[in-house]
Amino acid sequence: MELADIAIKFGLIIIIFLISLVVAMYSTYAERKIAAFFQDRVGPNRAGPFGILQPLADGAKMFMKEEIIPTNATPFLFIVGPSLAILTACIGSAVIPWGQNLVIGGRTIPLQVTDINVGILYIFGVVSLGVYGVMIGGWASNNKYSLLGAIRAASQNISYEISMGLSIIALLMVTGTLSLGEIAQQQHGWHWNVLYQPVGFLLFMICAFAETNRTPFDLPECETELVGGYHTEYSSMKLGFYLFAEYINMFISSAVMATLYWGGYNYPGMDWVTAHTGPAIGPLIGTAVFFAKIFLFIFFFMWVRWTIPRFRYDQLMDLGWKVLIPLAIANIVVTGIVITFFS
C-alpha cells in the first residue's frame, strides 16, 4: 500500500469519526425538537437561531461540570465503563460502505475504510462488546440501582442479539456473503433486500431498538424504577460519553439497516445520474442518498420514543424469547424453502 493510500484511509477514518460525533451531537437537538413538536412545545430556542447552538452549549456544560467519583466506587473501572461504551460505538463504522468508489484525478478512492469478508460478524462483535461498557459502569458504581440497570442491559442485549443473528441468517441465505460492501453492490438500483426479506428487516429493526436501549426497550435506564439506571452515579463528561454512545449507536444501527435492507447508497436511476455527473460527483450523490436513509431511520427512532410507552421487563423478555426468536426461525425455514424450490 502506497503512502498516499494510507493517507486517504486515515483521512476517511477522521472524516467518518467527526461525522459520527456531529450527528450524535445534533441528534440530541433533533430529539428535543421532535419531542417538542409531538408535545406542542417550542423546544430549544435560546442558544443561536432556532436553538441550533444548543448542542454546543450542552457539550460545554458537560466539560465544565465537576468530575465526581463516588467514595465506594472502583475508580479505574468507573472510568473504563464510559470509555469502553464510546469506543465500541465509534469503531462499528469501519466496515460500512458509505458510497461507491470515487475517481478523482485518475485515483480511485474507496468510501469504505475496510471491506473485510466477515463485515457482519465484525458488527455483531462490536455490538456485543458495547454491553461491557454498561455492565462495568453499573458494577463499578457500587450502587444497587446502577447494578440492576447493568444486569438488565446485559440480559436484554443477550436476548435480542440471538433474534438479530437469526434474522440476519435469512438475509445471508439470499445474498451469499458476509461482506457489507458486496451486499450493498448486490442491491444496485432498486433491488433492495427489504423486498425479499421484509420479515427479516422488521425483526432486525426491533432488535436494533433493544440493542441501542431506546424506548420502548430503555429498561436499563428506566427512571421510574432505577433513578437513572446504570449511569445513576455518573456526571460530567463520563455521563456525556454514555449519552453520546447511545446516539452514535443509533446512527450506526441506522447505517447498518440502510446498508443491509434498504440498498445503502443505491437508488433508482443511479447509473443515469453517474453517467451525466461523472465518477467524482455521482458517488457523492449516492452517499447523500445513503445519509438521507440514515436520517429517516434516526427520525423513526425518535418518533417511536415519543409515541410508545416502555414495556414492563417481563413483557420485554417475553417478546424476545417467545415471539421474535420463533418468528426468526420460521423466517429462516420459509426462506430456505423458497430458495430451494423457486430460485
Please write the tens of the pLDDT for every residue from 168-201. 999 999 998 999 999 999 998 888 999 999 999 9
pLDDT above 80 for 326: yes
Q: What is the SS3 string spanning 192-235? A: CHHHCCHHHHHHHHHHHHHHCCCCCCCHHHCHHHHCCHHHCCCC
Task: State residue 211's pLDDT score.
Answer: 83
CA distances in angstroms from 303 to 34, 123, 295, listed in the order given: 8, 25, 12
* Residue 331 banded pLDDT, cuts 50, 70, 90: very high
Task: Output the pTM of the full model.
Answer: 0.91
- C-beta of residue 134 within 8 angstroms of C-beta of residue 85: yes
Looking at every residue in the chain, the average pLDDT score rounds to 88
DSSP assignment letter at 114: -
Task: Taking residues 311-330, report their average pLDDT.
Answer: 90
Task: Taking residues 49-67, report their average pLDDT.
Answer: 87
Domain range holding 62? 3-342
Task: State residue 64's pLDDT score.
Answer: 85
Task: State residue 338's pLDDT score.
Answer: 92
Domain count, the chain: 1
Task: State residue 323's pLDDT score.
Answer: 93
pLDDT above 70 for 148: yes
Please write the tens of the pLDDT for every residue from 203-229. 999 999 988 888 787 776 766 566 667
Task: State residue 235's pLDDT score.
Answer: 83
Residue type for position 210: A
* Residue 329 banded pLDDT, cuts 50, 70, 90: very high
* Residue 1 banded pLDDT, cuts 50, 70, 90: low
Q: Which residues pair with 103 in a beta bridge?
A: 108
Share of the chain above pLDDT 70, in %: 97
Please write the tens of the pLDDT for every residue from 286-307. 999 999 999 999 999 999 988 8
Q: Tell me the chain's radius of gyration from C-alpha atoms.
A: 21
Task: For residue 69, give the 3-state DSSP assignment.
Answer: coil
Please write the tens of the pLDDT for every residue from 241-264. 888 888 999 999 999 999 999 999
Give me the DSSP letters along 269-295. Answer: THHHHHHHH-TTTHHHHHHHHHHHHHH
pLDDT above 80 for 125: yes
CA distances in angstroms from 7 to 1, 115, 119, 312, listed in the order given: 10, 17, 23, 50
Please write the tens of the pLDDT for every residue from 74-110. 888 888 888 998 999 888 888 999 988 888 877 888 8
Strand intervals (E) in 65-145: 102-104, 107-109
pLDDT above 90 for 138: no
